[in-house]
Amino acid sequence: MADAVGFIGLGAMGKPMALNLRKHDVAVVVHNRSHAAERVLAEAGASIATTPAAIAAACDVVLLMLPDAPDVEAVLEGPSGLLAGLQPGTVVVDSSTIAPSAAIRFAGLVAARGGAYLDAPVSGGEIGAIDGTLTFMVGGDADALASVTPLLAHMGKAERIVHVGPSGAGQICKACNQLVIGGTMVAVAEALALAGKAGVDGAKVRQALLGGFASSRVLEVHGERMLTGNYKPGFKAKLYKKDLRIVAEALAEYGVAAPETALVQQLVHAQIAAGGGDDDYSGIAQVIFRLARLD
């Protein structure tokens, strides 16, 4: 493990992930566009770097948690970017959710500088980031992953750090994850809409379904949100829209028909058009409930 770990991107996910590293006494050097988030980490004992290049000069492991591929590109290739100061042997762990093709390109850029790039998107949401129970879906070199697994285990469970395959495979896995979640979320909303229109207690329906083959983490967590109307974001709908764009592009690239996912994407667009872009993505249920005239 590295003596000092760089962390760039201290948003809703990145900040608790970096804080979990500090809770395990890992020396952390952070950089973020918002200085307020940097101050939170500084109070927890982290150091602050003024540029990504400064982090590259100080750390041989760097973690990224950024909104999209253009943000990763700016951090890597921009003025005073990571690549400008990257040391041979550095492992860049990119937990951003980006297009698989972008991850493959970034892996090539880092490899050309003598480093290793792992695309390592996560699942578990903000709650998982806070609790340190994230799942890591990793593409890239297996030896590079083995070298940083103890660090990742401070932010996720060791058995949930999965080496999926070569560069880009982690992002393909994340696309599959978002695809499954969306379809399941819509099915749960439709089930609760049916119960509501029939005058049956949705909470009792959810309780019964959790005991059978219909049980899922989505039914457990997001089903409760739908019943209580608590759409305080763990993962904002506008970010899920971005993820579904990546899913749709991957489906088109590999020639996979996914009619259910196309419907989910349109329902998310409807949620955002109705003003729910900053709500949790489980707020897609509100669209289903309105269609059922349950509002």
Q: What is the pLDDT of residue 2?
A: 53
The total number of structural domains that make up the chain: 2
Contact 64, 41 (CB under 8 A): no
Residue 295, pLDDT above cutoff 90: no
Per-residue model confidence (pLDDT) at position 1: 41
Domain stop point among 106, 136, 165: 165
246: left (phi over 0), alpha (psi -120 to 50) or beta: alpha
State yes or no: pLDDT of 253 exceeds 90: yes
What pLDDT does 208 receive? 98
**Residues 159 and 195 both lie in one domain:** no
Residues 47 and 152 in one domain: yes
What tens digit of pLDDT does each residue of 42-75 get? 999 999 999 999 999 999 999 999 999 999 999 9
Are residues 36 and 147 both part of a single domain? Answer: yes
Local confidence band at 3 (pLDDT 50, 70, 90 cut-offs) = confident
Residues composing the chain = 295
Residues 140 and 261 in one domain: no
For the domain that residue 81 is a member of, what is the CATH number? Answer: 3.40.50.720
Domain extent for 279 = 173-291
Residue tagged active-site, from 174, 197, 204, 242: 174
- Which of 165, 181, 196 is the last residue before a domain boundary? 165
Residues 43 and 157 grouped into a single domain: yes
13 Cβ contact list (under 8 Å, min separation 6): 65, 95, 122, 126, 129
Is residue 289 within a helix (H) or strand (E), and if so which, with residue range?
helix 284-291
- 24 and 158 housed in the same domain: yes
Token pair 């049980």 is found at 215
Tens of pLDDT, residue by residue over 23-32, are 999 999 999 9
**CB contact at 8 A, 194 and 157:** no
Q: Are residues 129 and 182 in the same domain?
A: no
Q: What predicted TM-score, i.e. pTM, was given to this entire model?
A: 0.94
285 and 150 in a common domain: no
What is the distance between the alpha carbons of residues 184 and 16, in angstroms, rounded to a whole number? 27
pLDDT digits (tens, 9 = 90+) for 100-153: 999 999 999 999 999 999 999 999 989 999 999 999 999 999 999 999 999 999
Evaluated on CA atoms 287, 292, 294, 295, the torsion sign reads positive
Consecutive H or E run containing 140? none
Same domain, 186 and 142: no
177-220 pLDDT, tens digit per residue, is: 999 999 999 999 999 999 999 999 999 999 999 999 999 999 99
Mean pLDDT of 141-168: 97
Catalytic: 174? Answer: yes
Domain termination residue (choose one: 119, 148, 165): 165
Does one domain contain both 138 and 117? Answer: yes
Q: Alpha carbon 134 to chain centroid distance?
A: 9
231 and 158 in a common domain: no
Q: In CATH, what number is assigned to the domain containing residue 201?
A: 1.10.1040.10
**Does 144 lie in the same domain as 178?**
no
For the chain, what percent of residues have pLDDT higher than 70?
99
Q: Quote the pLDDT of residue 249.
A: 96
Local confidence band at 291 (pLDDT 50, 70, 90 cut-offs): very high
Instruction: Specify the pLDDT at position 289.
Output: 98
Q: Which helix (H) or strand (E) holds 114?
A: none
Cβ partners under 8 Å of residue 87, min gap 6: 56, 57, 60, 114, 115
Q: Phi first, then psi: what are they for 157, rounded to 5°?
A: -75, 140
Supply the mean pLDDT for the chain: 96
